[in-house]
Amino acid sequence: MKIHLKILPLLCFITLIHSTVSFGQTVIKPPVSSPVEARVQGEEQIPANFYGVSFYKPTYILPYYYTGSPDNAAYQNTTPNSERLKHPEIKYQLSFKVPVWKNIFNHPSTLYLAYTQLSYWQLYNNRAFVRENDYEPELFFANEVNWHLFKKWNLNFLNVGAVHQSNGYGNSLERSWNRLYLEAIASTDNWMVSIKPWYVISTNNNNNNMATFLGYAKVLVAYKFHQQVFSIQGYNLVEHGVKRASAEATWSFPITSYIKGYVQVFSGYGQSLIEYNHRTNSAGVGISLNDWV
């Protein structure tokens, strides 16, 4: 593997850490009542210029990520020297968003362009190679409503968006789908809940049954305890009698002012797009630059 591919994750994280430090030096946070409101107020401090980029989904790197049952069948005769997948590998995700149009018609709504990339790097194999890159560009309206629901719970956002997700192989390994979605985000004190149903517009011929394994909605619950964040997200929870349900749990905790320790556990289908119909159990440890709240 060429050296520039090997150092790509490190270069990306150095750049993001530098950006995080720059943002963190100018942010003054007023009192807030929920972690969602805290994140919104932090993002409002980012300068409104070309570089006013904020984190979207968690951005992290797991130098040790162990998959219990790698999907070797999907990669047969396609890896360097036909290497079988090793159980341990490196997993990392980069995710950011940038506002395209803020305060639409003087309403607290923003049109965002977002991008997320999830990668799996077989660094510990005899010949290192990146086995999967999942690319996820997204365009969505974040509509801030702040409706009171009950007790201390508020509905903070009603979002609507369009998302494309693919691994870019362009052959029998190609996996992709396009979706429209709605998302409701509610919070109270230290809790955040997101419910995100979607409609599948189209899929690749290699994965026509993607929704059978990944479902038609995702539920995310996050809890912030001091500077630690615990989260769990699940999909395909009810569509097929839970027999194809999948879940991912994470725990982040502060190491420095800008870097968090990060632990992740996954069980189910769709760990990556190419494995959408392959069940596995995985776990990893590393660092993150942000979390859901």
By annotation, the residues acting in catalysis are 164, 166
DSSP-derived secondary structure letter, 84: P
Pairwise CA distance, residues 96 & 56, whole Å: 5
DSSP letter string, 170-213: -STT--EEEEEEEEEEEEETTEEEEEEEEEEEEE-GGGTTHHHH
Query: CA 52 → CA 19, 44, 112, 184, distances in Å?
Result: 10, 10, 12, 25
Distance CA 284, CA 293 (A): 20
Contacts of 27 (CB under 8 A, 6+ apart): 42, 45
Find the DSSP H helices in the chain.
Answer: 3-6, 8-24, 35-44, 210-214
Strands 109-122 and 228-235 turn out to be: unpaired
d(CA 272, CA 117) in angstroms, rounded, equals 11
- Distant-in-sequence, close-in-space partners of 18: CB < 8 Å, separation ≥ 6: none
Q: How far apart are CA 200 and CA 216, in angstroms?
A: 8
In whole angstroms, give the CA distance from residue 29 to residue 40.
10
